[in-house]
Amino acid sequence: MSHIDMLEETVATLVDGQRGILAADESGGTIAKRFATIGLDSTEKNRRDYRAALLSCKGLGECVSGVILFEETLGQKDAEGQPLPEVAASQGIVPGIKVDKGKGPLPGAPGDMITYGLDGLSERLQQYKKQGARFAKWREVYPIGHHNPTGLGLTANAEMLARYAAVCQAEGVVPIVEPEVLMNGGHDIERSAVVNERVWHSVFHALHQHGVILELMLLKPSMVTPGAEAETADPEQVAEYTLRSLRRTVPAAVPGINFLSGGQGPEEATANLNAMNQQGGGPWQLSFSYGRALQEPALAAWQGRPENVEAAQEALLKRSRMNHLAMLGRYRETLE
Ligand code: 13P
């Protein structure tokens, strides 16, 4: 199969009008923080048991078309010896892989960040493909401040995303381009809209410059919301602002937009996605690629105990179903 055929097949599976993506790619530090909320140590076995429970959840494949894994998970096996990427694939869920290597300060742009990991990316992708990965994710992070993001921050981060996406497509791996504008801060929704629009504009400019095929990638943006320390906005308002900014900056050639949840509560993230689809959505499919908003109730139900695996899976399935309905604009709070 040619690389273009592979890319087309993966996009068609991921963007099927019905399903979204589960982000289960927390890095070592992040998963340790999540486990700490249930008083659990982040050991290799605990991480494997948790992720095996998520991926083997019966019925998950009806609402979830892809799962983003961390490198370690790609090489792990469940208790019966089946590789975890295969556990996902056997449910019709495409395995994906987070390929960035974390972030640090961007020199010359105080307050801005930059993500690492381009060196050797082609070779790593070839290995990940052998382990079953068909798509990848790379996250750039933009804190909002009085002076941030700076012009340099916008250009440098967009350049990283575009270079990563071009390498992925050259290897036949679908890139998910994730520019995350952080919710931290007391800014209002107007400010969030201005920043998100600048970010998306700069990212698509760079994607064009690097010859990335827009039909064969996905965008994973933040929603346009007020800062976490400001008063929250209702779903209709979040939907209006987010759609307006996306329509101004994201070409219709992009097949799908899968939002991150970024600290929104599980029900909040569902209601916001639902409102966007009720307001007519866009030329793109609007779906989810949530981490916390899908996993939080499952993790709380699990508590690190084998006897709770079923309850954890039930919680995951419920959030996945609610978000599947939100994709179709058919979610109602009364279904919770
Ligand atoms: P959240 O939905 O928890 O923001 O995670 C999504 C993700 O993949 C962040 O990189």
Give the tens place of pLDDT for each residue, 190-231.
999 999 999 999 999 999 999 999 999 999 999 999 999 999
Pocket test for ligand 1, best of 264, 288, 292, 299 (most atoms within 8 A of CB): 292
Residue 323 vs residues 172, 290, 317, 319, 328: alpha-carbon distances, Å: 29, 10, 10, 6, 9
Distance of CA 191 to the CA centre of its chain: 23
Lining ligand 1 with CB less than 6 A are: 23, 139, 178, 260-262, 290-293
- pLDDT of the residue at 80: 96
Instruction: Name the pTM for this structure.
Output: 0.98
- pLDDT of the residue at 75: 96
Told to judge if 103 belongs to the known catalytic residues of this protein, a careful annotator would answer no
pLDDT band at 244 (very low <50, low <70, confident <90, very high): very high
The amino acid that residue 104 corresponds to is G
What is the total count of domains within the chain?
A: 1
Catalytic residue selected from 26, 137, 171, 220 = 220
Residue 250 belongs to domain spanning: 3-335
The CATH number of whichever domain residue 94 belongs to comes to 3.20.20.70
Q: Are strands 135-142 and 256-259 parallel, antiparallel or unpaired?
A: unpaired
The amino acid that residue 330 corresponds to is R
Catalytic residue selected from 26, 140, 178, 296 = 178
DSSP of 43-105: -HHHHHHHHHHHHT-TTGGGTEEEEEE-HHHHT-B-TTS-BHHHHHHTTT-EEEEE----EEE
The arithmetic mean of pLDDT across residues 257-265, rounded, is 97
Told to judge if 220 belongs to the known catalytic residues of this protein, a careful annotator would answer yes
DSSP of 115-181: E---TTHHHHHHHHHHTT--EEEEEEEE---SS-S-HHHHHHHHHHHHHHHHHHHHTT-EEEEEEEE
pLDDT over 90, % of the chain: 100
* 291 close to 23: Cβ distance less than 8 angstroms: yes
- Spacing, Cα 99 to ligand 1 middle (Å): 14
Q: Are strands 113-115 and 103-105 parallel, antiparallel or unpaired?
A: antiparallel
- Spacing, Cα 291 to ligand 1 middle (Å): 4
pLDDT band at 124 (very low <50, low <70, confident <90, very high): very high
- pLDDT of the residue at 247: 98
- The model's pLDDT over 70-95, given as tens digits with 9 standing for 90+, comes to 999 999 999 999 999 999 999 999 99
- The model's pLDDT over 161-183, given as tens digits with 9 standing for 90+, comes to 999 999 999 999 999 999 999 99
- The model's pLDDT over 286-306, given as tens digits with 9 standing for 90+, comes to 999 999 999 999 999 999 999
- pLDDT of the residue at 296: 98
CA nearest to 276, candidates 245, 297, 318, 319 = 245
Average per-residue pLDDT for the chain: 98
Residue 80 vs residues 30, 49, 52, 94, 195: alpha-carbon distances, Å: 27, 12, 11, 20, 48
